[in-house]
Amino acid sequence: MAAPGALEAALDMLPAGAAIYPFFMAKGWFVNSALARRLEGREVRVLEPFGLDADLPGIAAGLIGAEAARQGWQMAETHVLLAAHGSARGKAAAQSAEDFAARLEPLLDGAGMRCGYVEQAPFLPDLVPDLPDRTLCLPFFAMEGDHVRDDVIVGLRGAGYQGPILPALGRAEAVPALIAAALARSTATHAPA
């Protein structure tokens, strides 16, 4: 979406009724406003964004469990900081992270969980002094752009956080299969009779 004309050029190659899979974490401003505006007048179906996929918490739990094991930590003594975008414009981004955390936490065998944000309170660096020693950070982002590199990694390290920081959730090895499954479900649901 950032490259001028790139989305429109890709859309011009799609057949009518094609599915659009928003690789975003929330159904917030980018999906509801920016993407919707760019899709106006096009005959496409917009699927639920990546961050809302029901299978994503299971993928995240696997990543967290593997990292806790690498650290030699039991899950019940591990704490997870879910680093998310948040937004000063509205509640959708934070709500998406909170909903994700609520679906993820029961999969973590007793690990504690807390959400922190880049663009709203509680801000990530402000949480660092109160984090338990065995805390790992999972960036709730589709890609490792400036927010992950600068705001999450540099921001946390600058505030004194020394725990592990996992790659952005969108980089997980299982993500391409998750996206393919979402597209396959959409195709099956909208197949001509």
CATH number of the domain to which 64 belongs: 3.40.50.1400
- Give the sign of the dihedral formed by CA 160, CA 170, CA 72, CA 97: positive
Contact 55/30 with Cβ under 8 angstroms?
no
For residue 51, what pLDDT band results from cuts at 50, 70 and 90? very high
Residue 97, domain member (yes or no): yes
Q: How many angstroms separate the CA atoms of 147 and 181, rounded?
A: 28
How confident is the model over 124-151, as a mean pLDDT?
96
Answer yes or no: do 41 and 90 share one domain: no
pLDDT > 70: percent of the chain: 98
Domain enclosing residue 40, as ranges: 19-50+174-188
Is the same domain home to 32 and 121? no
In a shared domain, residues 181 and 166: no
The label of the residue with tokens 């679906």 reads 103
Say if residue 122 is preceded by a cis peptide, omega within 30 of 0.
Answer: yes
Of 193 and 124, which is predicted with more confidence? 124
Quote the CA–CA distance of 142 and 82 in Å, as a whole number.
13
| 56-71 vs 175-189: helix crossing angle, rounded to 10 | 170
The model's confidence at residue 191, banded by pLDDT at 50, 70 and 90, is low
| Helix, strand, or coil (residue 64) | helix
Q: pLDDT category, 190, cuts 50, 70, 90? A: low
175 or 3, which is more confident: 175
Q: Strand pairing of 79-84 and 112-117? A: parallel
Quick one: 64 and 114 in the same domain? yes
Chain segment 52-103, per-residue pLDDT in tens: 999 999 999 999 999 999 999 999 999 999 999 998 888 889 999 999 999 9
